[in-house]
Amino acid sequence: MKGVDINVYDFDFDLTFAVLLMNADGTIYHRYGGRDWTDPQSHLSVASLVDVLEKTLPDHASYAKKPSPPKKRRAVSVDRMPAMLRKKRQPNCYHCHMVHDAMTEERQQRKVFKRSDVWRYPDPHELGFQVERDDQVRIKEVVPTSAAAKAGLKEGARIYTIAGKRVLSLADVMRALHEARSGPGRLEVTFWQDGEERTGAFPLRKGWKEPVPLNFSWRASKWKLSPKPGFGGQQLKPAQLAKLGLDEEAFAFRVGYVVTWGPARHTGQNAIRAGIRKGDVILSFDGDNEFESVDHWHAWFRLRKKAGEKIKVTLLRGGKRKTITLPVVD
Amino acid sequence: MKALATVLLVLGLIVLVGAVVGAPPASGEEEIQGVTWLTDLDAARAEARTTGRPILIVFR
């Protein structure tokens, strides 16, 4: 990403694979390459990419008849962002997710960071719907009573526009949600359903963009967020759980590291003071162990916990259960 | 998640494949599985401006 102007090449920088389809004047027609928490390639397929490419060509042809180039903005690249320039050692290689990291660091350093700063590119789950992988405007599922259900969407419907902007892919849908106001309000959606074109609106409640930790769990940008637990490790597999006499379907992880280095070492030191040790098997937090993965737990900790709170951590050490109190620190 | 951006000028899928297979990569180009990609964003936009084609950019 070194030297890439993020004001022009603007996409979800937490990514597996991102495609921009654009005009030479900088107008972005469509984006491709969104994903959800289930798999890095949850929405990558040749069929869906070909579909987006084919449908972009007529959009390009009609744009040529009435071009509206974007306003020119000051060029910004990740390697020139203040948070990066302040580092003693500049990275040799700039990964895409470092753009979000630099944005977060910058706001943290200026002490103006808000949790809502990371509510980027909302997953459609936040409004209660999912889209198919191969036909990414086709609704795969609608949660009853969700904003999507209230907008009139049903399984099998095909979204045409969101807020007046044509969408062709999950990445387009997430971009449209990203550009929508945080709420409260309404977000217009047009779609094809039961053989006819319909118009509806997602009712947006205040804070609707705040991600459910599971939806946020895959994002590399979560690591920069605080509070941090100061430790982590590998999730135990069913056979490992059974060997410890635990439910094979339960969530548990073995502490593989405690952060005792770098700028977040105080979080690891805090965990050690509280009684966390490398090798402990972590079973629950305040009795909660409904986590799909260690990443899910990391996202939950960062999004849901606040400095000053105390968490009861139940763990297994030497075959014995133990509960310790972990103060949450920033 | 390498920050490598590759750029392709799109004419249409059939034309795209037919146009790029067999072309030896030059400076500022990279060949991946028989498809020649430009690796310079500014050069790609300049070429798209000249040819009137849309641009496909991949970040991975």
- Tokens standing for residue A30: 């469509």
Of A89-93, A105-109, B25-29, B47-51, the least confident: B25-29
Q: Quote the number of domains for chain B.
A: 1
User: CA A227, A231, A234, A236 torsion: positive or negative?
Assistant: negative
Scanning every residue of chain B, which has its alpha carbon at the shortest distance from the alpha carbon of A98? Answer: B3
Range of the structural domain that residue B10 is part of: 5-59
Q: Do A93 and B12 touch (CB under 8 A)?
A: no
Q: Do A64 and B48 touch (CB under 8 A)?
A: no
Is there a shared CATH topology between the A124-204 domain and the A226-327 domain?
A: yes
The domain segmentation of chain A, as residue ranges, is: 19-111, 124-204, 226-327
At residue B36 the predicted structure's pLDDT band, cuts being 50, 70 and 90, is confident
CATH architecture of residue range(s) A226-327 = Roll (2.30)
pLDDT at residue B20 in the model: 37
pLDDT at residue B24 in the model: 56
- For domain A124-204, the CATH class is mainly beta
Q: Do B1 and A95 touch (CB under 8 A)?
A: yes
Q: State the ipTM, two decimals.
A: 0.86
Q: Do B3 and A95 touch (CB under 8 A)?
A: yes
Residues in A closer than 8 angstroms to B55, CB to CB, are 20-24
Q: Do A4 and B5 touch (CB under 8 A)?
A: yes
Mean pLDDT in residue range A147-163: 98
**Over chain A, what HEC string results?**
CCCCCCCCCCCCCCCCCEEEEECCCCCEEEEECCCECCECCCCCCHHHHHHHHHHHHHHHHHHHHCCCCCCCCCCCCHHHCHHHHCCCCCCCCCCCHHHHHHHHHHHHHCCCCCHHHHCCCCCHHHHCEEECCCCCCEEEEECCCCHHHHCCCCCCCEEEEECCEECCCHHHHHHHHHHCCCCCEEEEEEEEECCEEEEEEEEECCCCCCCCHHHHCCCHHHHHCCCCCCEEEEECCHHHHHHCCCCCCCCCEEEEEECCCCCCHHHHHHHHHHCCCCCCEEEEECCECCCCCHHHHHHHHHHHCCCCCEEEEEEEECCEEEEEEEECCC
Nearest by CB to residue A97, choosing from B1, B10, B54, is: B1
pLDDT at residue B26 in the model: 67
Q: Do B55 and A23 touch (CB under 8 A)?
A: yes
Percent pLDDT > 90 in chain A is: 90
Q: How close does chain B come to A2, measured CA to CA in Å?
A: 8
Mean pLDDT in residue range A321-330: 96
pLDDT at residue A278 in the model: 97
**A32 interfacial to chain B (CB closer than 8 Å):** no
Q: How close does chain A come to B39, measured CA to CA in Å?
A: 12
pLDDT at residue B17 in the model: 32
Q: Do A18 and B60 touch (CB under 8 A)?
A: yes
Give the C-alpha separation, A276 to A269, whole Å: 9
Q: Do B58 and A17 touch (CB under 8 A)?
A: yes
Give the A window 210-229 contacts with B, CB below 8 Å.
220
* A/B interface, count of CB pairs below 8 Å: 75
**A46 interfacial to chain B (CB closer than 8 Å):** no
Give the C-alpha separation, A183 to A208, whole Å: 7
Of A55-64, A86-95, A180-189, the least confident: A86-95
At residue B8 the predicted structure's pLDDT band, cuts being 50, 70 and 90, is low
pLDDT at residue B9 in the model: 60
Nearest by CB to residue B13, choosing from A24, A50, A94, is: A50
